[in-house]
Structure 1
Amino acid sequence: MSLGIVWVIVIAVVTLLAGVALGFFIARKYMMNYLKKNPPINEQMLRTLMMQMGQKPSQKKINQMMRAMNNQQQK
């Protein structure tokens, strides 16, 4: 193999690795910002939502709704 082909392969591999690393950090930053702006629903938020809708939330009903939401997310 000539020296030119080796350099082309080395540059291609380095560029690929740099692109993967850069893509990972950009995606990580995007997800961190997204989760900060749109936090996942927790029990307290669900309880507040039910109270605003005029329902008196019991712990049993809260647990049931959280379980249903977690099952829906896993699908």
Structure 2
Amino acid sequence: MYYVLVGVLALVAGVAIGFFVARQYTMNYLKKNPPINEQMLKVMMAQMGQKPSQKKINQMMKAMNNQMK
């Protein structure tokens, strides 16, 4: 009886700890390697038919960085 209870508690604790460790790792990875950079923004805007100015790209990058925080 107690073995089952201890096993279930250990499983729940392991899942909780694993979730938070994986979450922290993923957040650090995305902070170091953002999914979109300036070159990608330029290409995306060009594909949409817009001529990307550096000012517009800087605004979009700043907005994305603020959203990540």
Deviation at 1:58, TM superposition (A): 8.8
Normalised by the length of structure 1, the TM-score is 0.54
- In the other structure, the counterpart of 2:6 is 11
Q: Which one has the largest radius of gyration?
A: 1
* Residue 25 of structure 1: how far off its partner (Å): 0.2
Unaligned runs of 5+ in 2: 50-69
2:63 paired residue number: none
Return the match for 2:21 from 21, 26, 34.
26
Instruction: Say which SS state the counterpart of residue 36 (structure 2) adopts.
Output: coil
The residue type equivalent to 2:8 in the other structure is V
CA distance in 2, matches of 1:30, 1:41: 19
Question: Runs of 5+ in structure 1 lacking a partner?
Answer: 1-5, 48-56, 65-75
Counterparts of 1:58 and 1:14 in 2: how far apart (Å)?
Answer: 49
Shift of the 58–37 alpha-carbon distance from structure 1 to 2, 3 Å rule, reads closer
Query: What are the Cα deviations for residues 10-64 of structure 1, in whole angstroms up to 9, with x where unaligned?
Result: 000000000000000000000000000000115xx122xxxxxxxxx69343x48
**TM-score, with length taken from structure 2:** 0.58
CA distance in 2, matches of 1:20, 1:59: 42
Please give the alpha-carbon distance, in whole angstroms, between the structure 1 residues aligned to 2:45 and 2:11: 51
Counterpart Cα distance in 1 of 2:2 and 2:10: 12
